[in-house]
């Protein structure tokens, strides 16, 4: 297996069949429904095969793929992946036009259009639904990823994840050979105050009672050089609620039954445990794991303007804000990782004025000079180190997520989740949602995405507020339903929830519901510092999904189950743990069973998975069998930085000054975070002379990671060969 940079190849001046991408998005509450239309025209004198690699959020459930070819509409069918590929290849061998959509990994998809005849046009439509995150200020975040970063494969990786397919690139200063249009329609019963974005938007139009509907489009000239991130600001504060969606009785299992979507906002209320819980949060052990690989030198905003803000700069600002906000009485340490890793201290150190000052100086000296993104070794070392019994351990990972062994990392985090909660921060546009969300979900933490400064403080304090909370134990869900109905949680009740943070649960309501209107209830129960707490949500036959008659909730529930089955121990692509032959046989059998369940559920629900693909064939079309078909991969922008080479700028040409932004005490207290007396302490500027960046030249033929540029011996505790 080749290691190092997952290569992208320079785009040569060839005709690109993809001419335009048009996206229509509809937001209702915490759910988005999206339709993307890809318009193709083959201007060449021979048939072509066009490929397009694109990112999607890991939560997205792709449920439809269709084509319009010469006035004919063709719906693709979902099949086991190898069978779908065989059908696609057979169709092309027979001269038919065919199209294929597959999931290369949890957040990267590939669309293929083969045998598009000379002078012919085509439209491909991809439809998906996704859950939406809630920001600290109550805004609902919609993100359409458009930036696709390379993924680094560590040497000796046993992961089943493969390198990203061939992707040609054009300079970020040059326009792409295809355009993009985007339109959003958002609806909130209580009204919408505004829709905002760092992207250039056209005017927002409001309609409906109390401005319950807002519509907006991207401004002209969008270059697809950043993710399309919008924030819908509802007028009313979010409250717990339930949605029900009727099933299709012509189908089986999950798709035939009613599906419930429960939205909880756990609240401790006036429990006696609150004061005791606050005392417990003072004693945590916080370990920050910071990506210092070469890709972190990439700019935060990939607009080709030469802006100075890099991912490592943003990671350092985030880390400094976290360090200044820690409570007295805790312990902490910082690990910097790349091809090797270093730690600030030999072991976690008690938080004090002196230790914070020392750590902040070291943060200012951090650089993106540690080569490839090899996150497994530092995590293994941390998990092997002894925990402090009186100080619950909290890991906080800051990375751009440019790794290909994502499932190995998620599996490791899940295996150690009983003693280590794991929180994550995705840094920059294009951060892997599969990795960032996956390690947070598996580690019982939360995930935040840092794409700019305007929301940095709120996101940092939101994550820290969760990390300071004690673990809510004995989480369960009970139901009060009419006779004849029973509820099955899909996929399972979460092990970790957080006070004040939205929790989404799906359930399959099996049985026969009464013909008359009925009322029921779902109760989320958990223990907070030894005291039982209950949060209730009414569930009635009247709380039907107000959208058009679609299977939105069913698709989301199916996606949640698929994601559960393909991650963690005994996942279909996992390597059996060393042990006796009988145990390995059991694990292999479990992995095979999970894969079969994923394929069956994917085909049944129409939601694509890692082991299935959509395939469609236009049997009416036929290209001359003697015509030589040419491949035409669709180019994307590629940005400075690299992944795995450790290529960085010389310190004389790159300014790395970090804004010493102490958090606002009032803002912290309003969020329930106890402000640290250290957070406004002045920080002396360290001597960076011994930590100057060096330029590492890299040949485009390199297939192995280069040696990292070590930091000064006296500055960090060095670790070699993965040993702590």
Q: Tens digits of per-residue pLDDT, 467-484?
A: 998 878 889 999 999 999
Locate 419 and state its tokens: 């003693």
Cis peptide before 491 (omega within 30 of 0): yes
pLDDT of 429: 86
pLDDT of 87: 97
Task: Evaluate if residue 535 carries a pLDDT over 90.
Answer: yes
Of 61 and 472, more confident: 61
Task: Evaluate if residue 328 carries a pLDDT over 70.
Answer: yes
Region of 672 on the Ramachandran plot (φ > 0 left; ψ -120 to 50 alpha; else beta):
left
Of 638 and 579, more confident: 579
Between CA 502 and CA 516 the distance in angstroms is 31
Percent of the chain with pLDDT over 70: 74
CATH topology of domain 247-273+479-528+530-543: Immunoglobulin-like (2.60.40)
pLDDT of 61: 97
- Give DSSP secondary structure letters for 21-79: EEEEEEEETTEEEEEEEEEEE--SSS-EEEEEEEE--TT-EEEEEEEEETTEEEE-EEE
Helix, strand, coil % in the chain, rounded to nearest 5: 20, 35, 45
Across the range 639-643, mean pLDDT stands at 41
Cα dist. 477→367, 443, 444, 480, 591 in Å? Answer: 46, 21, 17, 10, 28
For strands 485-490 and 473-480, give the pairing.
unpaired
Locate 82 and state its tokens: 């190898």
Across the range 441-445, mean pLDDT stands at 92
How do the domains of the chain map onto residue ranges?
A: 9-238+607-637, 247-273+479-528+530-543, 274-470+655-719
Of 674 and 338, more confident: 338
Of 412 and 148, more confident: 412
pLDDT grade, residue 27 (50/70/90)? very high
Task: Evaluate if residue 559 carries a pLDDT over 50.
Answer: yes
pLDDT grade, residue 466 (50/70/90)? very high
Of 77 and 679, more confident: 77
The DSSP code for 680 is T
Q: Which of 153-167, 266-280, 553-567 has the lowest mean pLDDT?
A: 153-167
pLDDT grade, residue 456 (50/70/90)? confident
pLDDT grade, residue 718 (50/70/90)? low
Across the range 44-57, mean pLDDT stands at 88
Most confident of 95-99, 637-641, 677-681: 95-99
CATH topology of domain 9-238+607-637: Immunoglobulin-like (2.60.40)
pLDDT grade, residue 161 (50/70/90)? very low
Of 450 and 652, more confident: 450
Of 157 and 564, more confident: 564
> Would you say the CATH fold of 274-470+655-719 matches that of 9-238+607-637?
no
Between CA 654 and CA 652 the distance in angstroms is 6
Q: How many CB atoms lie within 10 A of CB 549?
A: 9
pLDDT of 619: 86
Task: Evaluate if residue 154 carries a pLDDT over 80.
Answer: no
Between CA 596 and CA 599 the distance in angstroms is 5
Between CA 115 and CA 99 the distance in angstroms is 9
Most confident of 282-286, 349-353, 429-433: 349-353
Across the range 231-235, mean pLDDT stands at 96
Across the range 690-714, mean pLDDT stands at 31
Task: Evaluate if residue 500 carries a pLDDT over 90.
Answer: no
pLDDT of 547: 53
Most confident of 338-352, 442-456, 548-562: 338-352
- Mean pLDDT of all residues in the chain? 80
**Residue whose structure tokens are 């009313």:** 236
The whole-model pTM stands at 0.81
pLDDT of 692: 27
Superfamily of domain 274-470+655-719: von Willebrand factor, type A domain (3.40.50.410)
Q: Which of 110-114, 296-300, 331-335 has the lowest mean pLDDT?
A: 296-300
């Amino acid at each position: 297996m080749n290691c190092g940079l997952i290569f992208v190849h320079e785009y040569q001046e060839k005709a690109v069949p993809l001419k335009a991408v048009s996206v229509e998005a509809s937001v209702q509450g915490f759910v988005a429904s999206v339709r993307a239309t890809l318009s193709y025209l083959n201007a060449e004198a021979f048939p072509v095969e066009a490929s397009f690699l694109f990112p999607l959020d890991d939560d997205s459930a792709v449920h439809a793929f269709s084509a319009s070819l010469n006035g004919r509409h063709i719906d693709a069918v979902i099949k086991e992946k190898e069978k779908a590929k065989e059908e696609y290849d057979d169709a092309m061998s027979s001269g038919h036009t065919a199209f294929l959509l597959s999931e290369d990994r949890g957040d990267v998809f590939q669309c293929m259009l083969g045998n598009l005849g000379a002078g012919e046009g085509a439209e491909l439509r991809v439809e998906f639904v996704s859950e939406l995150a809630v920001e600290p200020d109550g805004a609902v975040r919609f993100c359409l990823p458009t930036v696709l970063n390379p993924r680094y494969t560590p040497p000796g990786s046993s992961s089943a994840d493969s390198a990203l397919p061939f992707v040609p690139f054009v300079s970020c200063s040059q326009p792409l050979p295809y355009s993009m249009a985007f339109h959003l329609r958002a609806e909130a019963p209580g009204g919408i105050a505004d829709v905002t974005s760092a992207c250039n938007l056209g005017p927002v139009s409001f309609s409906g009672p109390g401005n319950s509907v807002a519509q907006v489009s991207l401004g002209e000239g969008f270059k697809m050089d950043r993710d399309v991130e919008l924030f819908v600001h509802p007028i009313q504060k979010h409250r717990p609620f339930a949605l029900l969606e009727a099933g299709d009785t012509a189908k089986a299992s999950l798709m035939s039954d009613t599906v419930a979507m429960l939205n909880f906002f756990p609240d401790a209320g006036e429990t006696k445990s609150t004061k005791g819980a606050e005392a417990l949060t003072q004693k945590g052990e916080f370990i920050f794991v910071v990506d210092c690989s070469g890709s972190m030198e990439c700019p935060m905003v990939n607009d080709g303007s030469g802006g100075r803000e890099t991912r490592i700069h943003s990671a350092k600002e985030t880390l400094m804000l976290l360090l200044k906000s820690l409570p007295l009485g805790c312990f902490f340490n910082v690990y910097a990782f790349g091809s090797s890793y270093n730690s600030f201290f030999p072991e976690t150190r008690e938080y004090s004025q002196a230790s914070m000052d020392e750590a902040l100086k070291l943060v200012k000296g951090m650089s993106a000079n540690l080569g490839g993104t090899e996150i497994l070794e530092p995590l293994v070392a941390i998990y092997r180190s002894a925990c402090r019994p009186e100080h619950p351990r909290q890991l906080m990972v800051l990375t751009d997520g440019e790794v290909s062994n994502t499932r190995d990392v998620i599996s490791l985090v899940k295996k150690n989740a009983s003693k280590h909660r794991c929180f994550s921060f995705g840094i920059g546009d294009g951060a892997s949602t599969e990795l960032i969300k996956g390690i947070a979900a598996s580690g019982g933490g939360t995930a935040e995405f840092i794409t700019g400064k305007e929301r940095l403080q709120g996101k940092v304090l939101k994550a820290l507020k969760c990390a300071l909370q004690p673990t809510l134990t004995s989480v369960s869900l009970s139901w009060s339903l009419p006779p004849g109905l029973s509820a099955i949680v899909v996929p399972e009740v979460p092990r970790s929830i957080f006070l004040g943070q939205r929790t989404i649960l799906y359930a399959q309501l099996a049985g026969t519901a009464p013909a008359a209107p009925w009322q029921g209830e779902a109760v989320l129960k958990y223990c907070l510092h030894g005291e039982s707490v209950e949060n209730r949500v009414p569930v009635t036959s009247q709380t039907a999904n107000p959208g058009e008659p679609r299977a939105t909730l069913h698709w989301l529930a199916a996606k949640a189950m698929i994601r559960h089955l393909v991650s963690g121990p005994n996942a279909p692509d996992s390597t059996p743990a060393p042990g006796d032959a009988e145990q390995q046989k059991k694990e292999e059998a479990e992995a095979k069973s999970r894969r079969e369940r994923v394929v069956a559920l994917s085909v049944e629900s129409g939601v694509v998975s890692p082991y299935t693909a959509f395939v469609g064939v236009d049997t009416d079309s036929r290209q001359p069998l003697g015509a030589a078909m040419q491949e035409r991969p669709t180019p994307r922008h590629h940005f400075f930085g690299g992944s795995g080479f450790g290529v960085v700028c010389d310190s004389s040409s790159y300014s790395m000054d970090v804004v010493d932004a102490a958090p606002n005490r009032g803002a912290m207290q309003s969020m329930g975070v106890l402000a640290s007396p250290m957070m406004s302490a002045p920080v002396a500027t360290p001597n960076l002379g011994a930590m100057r960046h060096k330029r590492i030249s890299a040949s485009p033929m390199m297939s192995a990671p280069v040696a990292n540029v070590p930091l000064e011996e006296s500055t960090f505790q060095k670790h070699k060969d993965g040993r702590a």
